[in-house]
Amino acid sequence: MSLSRKVQVGSVPVGGDAPVSIQTMWDRQVDRVDQDLVSAVNNLHAKGCDIIRFALPNIRAVDTLAPLLNSTPMPLVGDIHFDYKIALKAIEAGFHKIRINPGNIGESWKVEEIITAAAHKGTVIRIGANEGSLADSDHSSPESRSTALIEAAERNLELFEKKGFKDIVVSLKSSDIEVTYLSNKEFRKRHDYPLHLGITEAGPLIPAIVKSTIGLSDLLREGIGETIRISISDSPEYEVLTAKELLFNLKLRSGGIRIIGCPKCGRTQFDTHGFLESVREELNTLPVDLTVAVMGCSVNGPGEAKHADLGITGNGKQVLLFRRGEIIRREDICSAKEAFLEELDQLRREFSS
């Protein structure tokens, strides 16, 4: 598949030869930008998020969120429905991208004003077409539903193309994985705009991960999809970590950690699940590619995980730490976390140098 056009969303390139970027959406109303919000947003960035979107339900929301533009390295996307004045205000405030559905903005002159302002300011516009807003979409075949979704996106694009505006990302959203696959694949054959992929309303954690993985993997493997959001009815952190895991396993992104975790069985001598949870934050924010193993027993632990850069396994009242199958330390279980984090830090320095 040929490369898409590239657009620049703040500091993050989307499309062309840029790596697939990860997005999430903030899941609460924001009353003010305080240190808690800044820390939480930047923590998502440390975990792998590249771009974050905020709902802008009214003009006041733009003013409220504007200070965040200078408090995070992540580009901000403003999500706008119905009122073109909110879009104009977000562009003026410096939001790096806005997401609109031209169909619900109304008269074309309003959309034209948005296009003119965005072109002037260098703001990218994501044009969304959502299957949920198409009439009778549930009663036809996946093929005809995907055709209807593409046609809706193309109708939305007409005005932008007439005005020569090209800083566009397109999304064709459905909660059906087949419709998502067919529509994005066909759209890419017809157009070179970067595509924002996601299965919309994918549900709670486990169904959303399964559905999104099935729905997006084939497209991503075929080189379709320049930015993704895994939609989960849970915290944005899970969206980011799932997207990172998906891209890492598809070898489309580096800078991630591969965790080999034993499921536990009757031989378990170590609380692997509790240990993983206790070091989750350190592992998820590690900026280097590493394979880490957390195993329950010494019978199978070091052997099954011998390719791990760092491993830990239970061994009676002790834990064994190993690198590439070679035991490097023995520690009491009570000092397991401290020893593990020391070795992790040592590896981080080795991999970074």
Chain residues that interact with ligand SF4, rule: CB under 6 A: 262-265, 267-268, 295-297, 299-301, 304
In the complex with ligand SF4, the residue whose CB is nearer, 164 or 263, is: 263
In the complex with ligand SF4, the residue whose CB is nearer, 54 or 340, is: 340
Residues with Cβ within 8 Å of 274's Cβ and at least 6 positions away in sequence, in order, are: none
Residues in the chain: 353
Q: How far is the CB of 271 from ligand SF4 (least distance, A)?
A: 11
The DSSP annotation for 33-102 comes to: --HHHHHHHHHHHHTT--EEEEE--SHHHHHHHGGGGGT-SS-EEEE--S-HHHHHHHHHHT-SEEEE-H
Q: How far is the CB of 317 from ligand SF4 (least distance, A)?
A: 16
Q: How far is the CB of 16 from ligand SF4 (least distance, A)?
A: 44
- Written as six digits, the tokens of 294 are 């957390």
Annotate 111-129 with b (16+ C-beta within 10 A) or e (fewer): bbbbbebbbeeebbbbbbb
Q: How far apart are CA 97 and CA 78, in angstroms?
A: 6
Nearest Cα neighbor of 345 from 297, 296, 292, 278 is 292
In the complex with ligand SF4, the residue whose CB is nearer, 164 or 266, is: 266
In the complex with ligand SF4, the residue whose CB is nearer, 124 or 308, is: 308
Q: Which residue is nearest to ligand SF4 (CB)?
A: 296
In the complex with ligand SF4, the residue whose CB is nearer, 85 or 324, is: 324
Q: How far is the CB of 312 from ligand SF4 (least distance, A)?
A: 11
Q: How far is the CB of 51 from ligand SF4 (least distance, A)?
A: 38
Q: How far is the CB of 266 from ligand SF4 (least distance, A)?
A: 7
